[in-house]
Structures are given as C-alpha cells and as structure tokens.
C-alpha cells in the first residue's frame, strides 16, 4: 500500500540531470510489496528511465488497473498524477486521458492477470487504437494478492507453489501484441536493468502504444523450481536478441559497431534508437520474422528478450488532433446562437 | 359525416428495409409545413430487412403530440400484416392498399372503406430496375395520401426539390411517383376524405427533430470534446449526430485539424472508461448508451462516484430486462441509474421529456457533472431519442459560460501552500481537483480503493467514513441544483398526477379532461424539495410511468420518504409510447 510517505532527503552529491533533478525526485512512496519482488526492480528501472530522459515529472500521467503491479505507480514519480483504477480497465482510461490531452506523457502499469485475463479485451483494443502510451506488463504468471492462483500467462507444465500443474496454454502478451499490429513490442526481465531501462526510454518516446512485457518474478508465490517465471529459470532461459540504445536528439552517436550489426530508427521527436542485434538473423522491423523467430525459440525453451519489434512510422490515434482538447477555449468550441438558428432550417 | 379537419391519425404498415422512411418523412414534413401540429412514431423491428414496420402519424390542431391508439386510416403496404392492420382501423375508417393483387375476402370489414391503388403495377410500368420499383412504391402511397388528405402539392414538390436538388434523375422519379398516386386517387375516388388537412399557422416557430440529434447538438454546445461509445439501439444515432455536427463545427478544412475526438470502443465498459479518463484529464466527455450498456458500466460508475470524476452518460432507454425488445421504448432504467454500482452510491439523473429538453439537459449535465465531480445520467428513451417531435425551435444564450467546477489552475497551485484532493475546504462537500500535466503541486493519486481526505490510501474506518459521508453531503446538495419539477397547478385539487420524461405528452393531454387534478413532472434526481411538498399536498397521487414495477413510484418513496399508501401507480410497458387513453384508463381503474 502507498500510505508510507518517503522522506524527501537529497544528498548533495546525488547526480542531477539536465533539468536539475536527481533520481530521488522521480521516486514515490515506499513500496509495500514483498521484499525481492520483481516489480520493485521494474519501478527502479522506470525511475531511472524518466530521470535519464529528463522529463518533468508533472508532465507524466501514470495509470494502472488492480493487482500487485497496479500498486506500483504509487512508488515512482510522486509529482505525477496517478490513477489506480478498476481491474483490467486501465487501457480505456488511458485512451480517454490521451484523447483529452495529447501532450501528457503516459505510462500504464499492469500485470498478467490485469492484462491477459480480465483486461484482455481492453489491452487488445488499446493496441489496435495505437494509444500513445508506454504499457508495462509486469508478468509473474500468478495472482499474488489472492494468494497464488495461475494467471493466463502461466506456461503449460508450470507448477504452482503447492505442486499443481498448469495444463492450459498461456496467452503470450508479446505474440498477441505482434499479431494485433502493435507498433512497439518488447520483452525484458526485471533482473536485467541494463536491457530494460533503454527499452522503457524508447517506449516513452515512441509515438503510439509501446508494449513492454517484463518477466517480473513473484518471490512469494512463483519463484520455486517448476515455475517458468522464477528468477533462476528466467536467467537461464532468457535469450536477448536486440539491445536498444536510446540516443537523445542532441547527442551524437560515438560508439562504433561492426557493419550490419546495428539498425537505426529515428523517433518522431527526432531522437534516435540504435538497435544492436545480438543475433544477426534478427530484424526488429520485420513483424512476421519477429513472430516466427520468437515462436521457434519458444519451442526450444528459450524466452526471447529485447526490443523485438518497432514500426518507425507509427502514428497514434490522434492523427488529426495536434493540440490538447481539454483546454481549448470554449469560444472556439461553441458554434453560437446564429449558427444554431441557421442549422435549424434543416429541421423544418 | 362530419369532417375531421386537422384532427386524425393514420398508420402506414410496410416491410422493414424497403425505403418507406423517406416517404413517411415527406408526408410528415408536408403536414408540418402546412402549419399543422403533427407527430410521427416509428414502430420498427430489430431487423435489417423483412420484418413488419409501422409509422404512425397523428395530426392534431390542438398540438397534442402523444401517441394515439385510434387510427382513422391505415396504409396497408405489407401483405404479411394485412389482417392485423385491417383490424386496427376504427369503425367507419379507411384502408389504403395495393390493389395490384386482389384482397382476401376475409380481410373485408363492412365498417371500413377500402381504397385500392394498383401501386406495384403502376411502378412496374413506370420504373426500371427492381430497387427503384420497390422504393417508388412508397412515394406512390405518399402521392395517394396527398390526394386523400388534401396535402398541399406545392409543398410536397418544394420538399422533393430541396431533397434532390443535386440528383435530377431522382427528382424526376420522385415527382413521377407522387403524380401516379395522386392522380390515380383523384380519378378513381372521391377526395379528399372527411379526414383532411387545412393549412394553419401553428408550426412557424417549431422544428421537427429527434432527441438523439438534439442531445448530441447539446453536447456540441456544451463544449464536449471527447465522445466514446459502443453502438447500441436506440442510442446509436446520438453519436452519429455528434460526429456530423463536429465535422461541421469543429473541423478546420484548411489545416485538416479536429477539435474533437470520437472513439468507437470495443464495449460499453471501455466507452465509459474513456469518458472517465478524458474527464479526469479535464475534457468534457460523454457516452451515449442504452440499458444493457448501463448494466456493463456499473463498475466504472462506482469508480467515478467514489473517486469523484465528472462523468456524463446518456441512457436512451429501451425495454428490458436483458436484451428485451431493442427497438421498443420503456422507462425501465430509473432505479438502475439512480443507484448504479455496488456499495453506497447515488447518482444525479436528469429526465428530459422531449428533444428540446434533451438539448438543454445535455448542457446542464456537463455543468452538474463538473460542479459536483460525479456521474450525471441523462435518461431519455427510444421514443424521445429516435422519433421526430415537433418542438419549439432550439435557442442558445450566447452569454453561457460552462461551469467547470473547482479546478485549480497552474497559477493557483503555484500560489498554494499545499493541495489535498478530498478536503472539504469550502464546507459545501465539494473538494478541489487538479488536472494531470498542469503543475507538480497538483499531483495526487486517484483511486477507487479506500482513501482519506488527503487522497492517501486508507484502511482506517474513521478516515474512510469521513470521505464517504462528505460525498453523501455533496450529493444531497444537488437536490436544489438539478432541474426543478414542472407543475400544472389547480386550485383546491385533491389528486396529484406525477410523471417523468416522455409520458409528459400523454399526461398533459389527459389533464385537459381531468379537472381537479394537479400535475407534476419530475426532471432531476435527487428530487427537489418541492417534490415531497407536492406529494404531501394531495390525498392521493397517481404516478404515471412506463415500466412494470413502478420504478418512479419506488424512487419517490426511497428519496422523499413519503408514505407509499399515497402513491397509486399507472403503468404502461408494452414497449410503445404512452397515450392519453392509458392515463385516463389508469385513473378510472
């Protein structure tokens, strides 16, 4: 729960970003999740990403549904508006907020129950609409708050803490997003901050729906032998294929990489994304190849991670709206009495 | 026989999907332009093609606009419903039918005059192509009606010219079809009939409009910028209306920019979520739906109530429970809307009685929702929403300023020492709110989980109750802010007649035959203090409404505490609009 305020103490030696804020300024209240929870690492990565991007916290809106993961928006960006809503319905709220104020930088936090069971429909349609939102699915394969039931993300053959075997096939968020036409699809691991932070930064800057599935183990209910979402299992089976280096607009790329091993994508705000291919066979702008590659690796027991797909030409749902609607002056919205008079000729 | 000038009703029966709407509209509009008060009720099936559909037109010089169940003339264009249609004509009435084929003897009633016009045959000869032949059959019966009822043919021609000014070929076919019907009747029958029209000047300041169109126009005038919806009969045309008006008024063709956003959601859950998200971010947003949509929206309505986010919902009611009869009207959602969602809730409801009030209350709904930071549900019904009503022209006061409620600006936040979302700073139960993206000091965490007055999570019983009680106080003050009831007062009346929404037309018509009965129509919930006073001032009150269980009556008892013994119930819930006869019969029973 989020009722423990965190003391706002600044150590003078803490590094500041270009807008004069330290990482502390991007924190929230003290987490109430279990010690060692993967979600807390994701929260730390989010804090790092926003700090590195030098975003003013109050320009951000953070939304969530219900569940352990959905509590975490209270633990970062205390100067941002937050909305901890109802179970599985965060995507619709985010759609509305984006429609009202297209300048908001939005991050949605969800879990595998919230996204892939009760909220599956909302997730799918937010992807279809390409809402401008970084959507982080903190995936632990289990319902934590209700004490350890399998979620829809649980793999076939995975066992619960009590030894029960899951026999139903999973809903795979990454494959789902790819097949629905998502314009930004990534998978990462809460224990791999080096990979995750650049993905989050790219997702924040992406114009459209950035889907990031983060395997984020539940230390209390799903970190045992037999679980495919445990720390040990994920470390062993994770197969990174693309690393994303996020390059802000004003910076120059200085690191040299061998010819053909990188692919560069220019984001809509002018910043660039350098995608380093850890597997030369992989092409993160080819949706169909990405899909089959992930499937092939899954068959051999590997979990492919990295920035798996990006559509560099992505346009979000607000294509004909260039300014926020919420503060449009009323005079420009109301046609007035003369127009009403004229209009009514049609009803005679 | 005495002529019935400008006081009669007729009904047109056709198979659905054959294009009769434009012919019926033409007839209705012609009568309207002749200056005669007229009402049209479309009784249509939940079907795209083939099932029977009827259009009822009532002409009334006194301006009564309620439905009447007595038909002087039937236009029987659907052989599948001949028997039913013949039976519905009043004794001494007329039946217009397509005599291209002989009528079955069993359909002949001695007390009805039959007017045969070989419509299909004439269309077969005059027009080419199956589709045109079918479509023009409708225009031919309109032409026949023009002769029978003495419609002004110049007005008809004016209307067809307006409609088809850019399609000369269609203009020719339409004019030709009108002439076919008109001159056939003139040659073969004595016309006009004793039921006939005579020009009046009673519609000059009126328009013909449906409530979905006018409500959507109200949303435009209220400054709504975000609309979210899931298509559902009978509310669909409201978002279509909003879209049309926005394309006209909110689109800049030079820059190709829009000042509105419409999202067709995947379901009603999402539609209201979008509205809440947009309102939370500061836009005026709304969703139109019907009963099944309200059922789905319950969870989110509770969130909006408890987290205090303005939310505007239009419920164009249809018959329930469940899918019910989707194309029939009812007032079956009164209780559902008043207390939607689990836990203790109570929502502001507005009850327009016609398209004019639907326009006005749309604006009121946004003002109330933002002032009270709570859901406001506007309840119309299929009859108000989809039928064309004759109403006084809509007017707009250019000095109107939207009441956006207590929203702190960046400057106010900058100057403030601190901000807490749910503090009752002004003692009126209404806290201050802030919008995302505006100022760091305005940040707070909106949640549907237990929270204290500072907006922080709580599981403390006292803190939780403190917020819940303040919300109750806030809603209580809305009694005097929702539109007050309207009355027809009569000195010394011992009987009260009470109704809501679209039953108004039937009630005021009945009242002309009910001396000693006073009238009140409620227009907003929670009920204004005058409502209880009115109930108390009569020995007995009759509550007129369109549902099985007397939901308005229950709501009056629940909300005013009046003794139920004083409230008798008059209910009509077949799915068709109520008529004065139903009210009178209920009072006598």
Rounded to two decimals, the pTM is 0.96
Mean pLDDT of chain A: 93
Distance (Å) from the alpha carbon of A48 to chain B's nearest alpha carbon: 19
Which runs of E-coded beta strand occur in B465-549? Answer: 486-488, 495-500, 517-522, 524-525, 540-545
The secondary structure of residue B393, as a DSSP letter, is P
pLDDT tens digits, B440-461:
999 999 999 999 999 999 999 9
User: Who among B435, B448, B457 is closest to A1 (CB)?
Assistant: B457
Angle at which helix A193-205 crosses helix A38-53, to 10 degrees, equals: 50
In this predicted structure, the answer to whether residue B27 has a pLDDT above a threshold of 50 is: yes
Distance (Å) from the alpha carbon of B502 to chain A's nearest alpha carbon: 20
In this predicted structure, the answer to whether residue B309 has a pLDDT above a threshold of 50 is: yes
In this structure, of A322-336, B40-54, B324-338, the range with the lowest mean pLDDT score is: B40-54
Residues of B with Cβ-Cβ distance to A56 under 8 angstroms: 440
CB of A313 closer than 8 Å to CB of B175: no
How far apart are alpha carbons B141 and B147 in whole angstroms? 10
- Band (pLDDT 50/70/90 cuts) for residue B138 is very high
CB of A98 closer than 8 Å to CB of B459: no
CB B445 to CB A2 under 8 A?
yes
* Chain A contact present for B464, CB below 8 A: no
Identify the CATH class of A23-344: alpha beta
As given in the structure block, the two tokens for residue A209 are 């729906």
In this predicted structure, the answer to whether residue B227 has a pLDDT above a threshold of 90 is: yes
Cβ-based neighbours of A51, under 8 Å, separated by 6 or more: A17, A21, A22, A23, A25, A26
How far apart are alpha carbons B157 and A114 in whole angstroms? 61
How far apart are alpha carbons A52 and A199 in whole angstroms? 12
CB of B13 closer than 8 Å to CB of B74: yes
Mean pLDDT value across residues A322-332? 96
How many cross-chain Cβ pairs, A to B, lie less than 8 Å apart?
A: 225
Maximum alpha-carbon separation in chain B: 88
Report all structural domains of chain B as residue ranges with CATH numbers, in order of start.
Answer: 4-203 (3.40.920.10), 209-392 (3.40.50.970), 410-480 (no CATH), 486-588 (3.40.50.920)
CB B273 to CB A318 under 8 A?
no
In this predicted structure, the answer to whether residue B493 has a pLDDT above a threshold of 70 is: yes
* Chain B contact present for A145, CB below 8 A: no
What is the reported pLDDT for B50? 87
pLDDT tens digits, A16-47:
999 999 999 999 999 999 999 999 999 999 99
CB B256 to CB A80 under 8 A?
no
How far apart are alpha carbons A121 and A13 in whole angstroms? 47
Cα within 13 Å of Cα(B179), Cβ side: 8
Give the range with max mean pLDDT: B45-49, B103-107, B428-432: B428-432
Residues of A with Cβ-Cβ distance to B32 under 8 angstroms: 348
**Which of B281, B293, B397 would you mutate first to test chain A, the one with the most A CBs within 10 A?**
B281
How far apart are alpha carbons B193 and B180 in whole angstroms? 18
Angle at which helix B504-511 crosses helix B580-588, to 10 degrees, equals: 60
Mean pLDDT value across residues A51-79? 97
Distances (CA, A) of B137 to B28, B119, B560: 17, 6, 55
Mean pLDDT value across residues A276-303? 92
Cα within 13 Å of Cα(B111), Cβ side: 7
CB of B411 closer than 8 Å to CB of B230: no
In this predicted structure, the answer to whether residue A124 has a pLDDT above a threshold of 60 is: yes
The residue ranking higher by pLDDT, B549 or A251, is B549
What is the reported pLDDT for A253? 60
* Chain A contact present for B207, CB below 8 A: yes
**Which of B273, B302, B360, B409 would you mutate first to test chain A, the one with the most A CBs within 10 A?**
B273
- Band (pLDDT 50/70/90 cuts) for residue A250 is low
* Chain A contact present for B162, CB below 8 A: no
Cα within 13 Å of Cα(B35), Cβ side: 6
How far apart are alpha carbons B352 and B105 in whole angstroms? 47
CA-nearest of B5, B1, B20 to B93 is: B1
How far apart are alpha carbons A27 and A75 in whole angstroms? 6
What is the reported pLDDT for A255? 65
Residue ranges of alpha helices (H) inside B477-562 are 504-511, 529-536, 551-560
* Chain A contact present for B456, CB below 8 A: yes
- ipTM confidence score: 0.96
As given in the structure block, the two tokens for residue A208 are 């459209």
Our CA angle for B317, B321, B326, nearest 5°, is 50
If one counts every other C-beta atom within 10 angstroms of the C-beta of residue B195, the result is 22
pLDDT tens digits, B408-422:
999 999 999 999 999
Mean pLDDT value across residues B56-77? 96
- Band (pLDDT 50/70/90 cuts) for residue A280 is confident
pLDDT tens digits, A161-188:
999 999 999 999 999 999 999 999 999 9
Residues of B with Cβ-Cβ distance to A315 under 8 angstroms: none
CA-nearest of A173, A292, A271, A223 to A35 is: A223
Mean pLDDT of chain B: 97
- Band (pLDDT 50/70/90 cuts) for residue A262 is confident
In this predicted structure, the answer to whether residue B498 has a pLDDT above a threshold of 50 is: yes
In this predicted structure, the answer to whether residue A3 has a pLDDT above a threshold of 60 is: no
User: Who among A93, A104, A321 is closest to B437 (CB)?
Assistant: A104
Mean pLDDT value across residues B61-82? 96
């Amino acid at each position: 729960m989020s009722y423990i305020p965190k003391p706002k103490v600044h150590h003078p030696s803490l590094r500041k970003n270009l807008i004069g804020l330290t990482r502390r300024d991007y924190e929230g209240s003290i987490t109430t999740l279990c010690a060692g929870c993967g979600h807390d690492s994701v929260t730390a990565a989010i804090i790092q990403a926003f700090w590195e991007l030098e975003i003013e916290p109050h320009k951000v809106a953070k939304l969530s549904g219900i569940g352990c993961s959905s509590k975490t928006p209270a633990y970062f960006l205390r100067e941002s508006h937050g909305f901890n809503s109802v179970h599985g319905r965060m995507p619709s709220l985010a759609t509305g907020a984006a429609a009202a104020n297209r300048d908001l930088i939005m991050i949605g936090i969800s879990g595998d129950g919230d996204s892939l069971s009760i909220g599956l429909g909302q997730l799918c349609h937010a992807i279809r609409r390409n809402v401008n939102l970084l959507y982080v699915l903190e995936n632990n394969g289990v319902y934590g708050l209700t004490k350890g039931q399998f979620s829809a993300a649980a793999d076939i053959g995975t066992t619960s803490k009590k030894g029960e075997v899951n026999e139903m096939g999973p809903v795979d968020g990454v494959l789902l997003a790819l097949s629905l036409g998502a314009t930004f699809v990534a998978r990462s691991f809460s224990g791999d901050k080096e990979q995750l932070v650049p993905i989050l930064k790219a997702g924040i800057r992406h114009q459209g729906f950035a889907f990031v599935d983060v395997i984020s183990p539940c230390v209390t209910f799903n970190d045992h032998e037999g679980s495919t979402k445990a720390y040990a299992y994920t470390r062993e089976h994770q197969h990174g294929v693309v690393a994303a280096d996020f390059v802000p607009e004003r910076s120059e790329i200085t690191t040299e990489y061998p010819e053909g091993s990188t692919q560069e994508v220019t984001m809509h705000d002018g910043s660039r994304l350098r995608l380093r291919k850890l597997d030369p066979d992989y092409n993160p702008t080819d949706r169909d190849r990405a899909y089959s590659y992930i499937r092939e690796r899954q068959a051999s027991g590997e979990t492919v991670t990295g920035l798996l797909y990006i559509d560099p030409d992505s346009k979000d749902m607000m294509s004909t709206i260039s300014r926020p609607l919420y503060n449009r002056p009323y005079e420009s919205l109301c046609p007035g009495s003369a127009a009403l008079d004229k209009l009514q000729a049609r009803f005679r | 026989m005495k002529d019935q000038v400008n006081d009669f009703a007729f009904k047109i029966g056709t198979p659905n999907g054959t294009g009769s709407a434009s012919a019926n509209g033409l007839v209705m509009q012609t009568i309207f332009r002749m200056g005669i008060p007229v009402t049209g009720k479309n009784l249509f099936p939940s079907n795209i093609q083939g099932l029977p559909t009827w259009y009822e037109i009532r002409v009334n010089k006194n301006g009564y606009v309620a439905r009447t169940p007595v038909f002087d003339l039937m236009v029987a264009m659907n052989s599948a419903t001949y028997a039913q249609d013949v039976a519905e004509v009043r004794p001494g009435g007329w039946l217009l039918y397509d005599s291209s084929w002989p009528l079955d003897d069993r359909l002949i009633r001695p007390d009805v005059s039959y007017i045969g016009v070989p419509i299909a045959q004439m269309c077969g000869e005059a027009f080419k192509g199956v589709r045109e032949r079918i479509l023009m059959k409708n225009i031919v019966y309109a032409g026949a009606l023009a002769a029978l009822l003495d419609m002004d043919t110049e007005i008809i021609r004016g209307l067809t010219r307006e409609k088809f000014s850019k399609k000369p070929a269609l203009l020719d076919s339409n004019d030709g079809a009108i002439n076919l019907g008109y001159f056939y009747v003139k040659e073969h029958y004595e016309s006009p009939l004793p039921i006939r029209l005579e020009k009046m000047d009673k519609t000059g300041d009126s328009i013909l409009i449906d409530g979905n169109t006018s409500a959507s126009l109200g949303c435009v005038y209220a400054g709504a910028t975000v609309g979210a919806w899931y298509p559902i009969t009978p509310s669909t045309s409201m978002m279509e209306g909003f879209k049309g008006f926005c394309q006209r008024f909110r689109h800049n063709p030079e820059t190709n920019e829009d000042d509105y956003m419409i999202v067709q959601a995947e379901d009603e859950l999402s539609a209201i979520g979008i509205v809440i998200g947009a309102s939370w971010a500061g836009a005026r947003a709304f969703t139109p739906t019907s009963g099944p949509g309200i059922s789905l929206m319950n969870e989110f309505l509770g969130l909006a109530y408890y987290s205090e986010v303005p939310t505007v919902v239009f419920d164009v009611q249809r018959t329930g429970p469940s899918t019910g009869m989707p194309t029939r009207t009812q007032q079956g959602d009164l209780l559902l809307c008043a207390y939607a969602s689990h836990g203790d809730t109570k929502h502001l409801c507005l009850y327009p009685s016609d398209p004019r009030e639907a326009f006005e209350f749309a604006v009121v709904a946004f003002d109330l929702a933002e002032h009270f930071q709570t859901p406001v549900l506007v309840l119309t019904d299929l009859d108000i929403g989809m039928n064309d009503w004759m109403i006084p022209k809509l007017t707009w006061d250019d000095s109107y300023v939207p009441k956006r409620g207590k929203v702190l600006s960046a400057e106010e936040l900058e100057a403030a020492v601190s901000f807490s979302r749910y503090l009752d700073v002004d003692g009126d139960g209404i806290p201050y709110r802030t919008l995302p993206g505006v100022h760091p000091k305005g940040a707070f965490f909106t949640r549907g989980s237990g929270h204290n007055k500072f907006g922080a999570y709580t599981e403390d019983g006292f803190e939780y109750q403190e917020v819940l009680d303040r919300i109750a106080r806030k809603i209580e003050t809305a009694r005097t802010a929702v539109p007050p009831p309207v009355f027809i007062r009569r000195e010394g009346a011992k009987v009260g007649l009470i109704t809501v929404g679209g039953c108004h037309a039937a009630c005021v018509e009945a009242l002309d035959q009910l001396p000693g009965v006073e009238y009140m129509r409620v227009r907003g919930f929670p009920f204004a203090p005058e409502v209880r006073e009115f109930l108390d001032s009569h020995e007995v009150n009759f509550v007129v409404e369109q549902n099985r269980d007397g939901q308005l009556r229950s709501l009056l008892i629940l909300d005013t505490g009046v003794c139920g013994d004083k409230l008798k119930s008059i209910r009509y819930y077949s799915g068709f609009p109520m008529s004065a006869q139903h009210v009178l019969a209920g009072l006598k029973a």
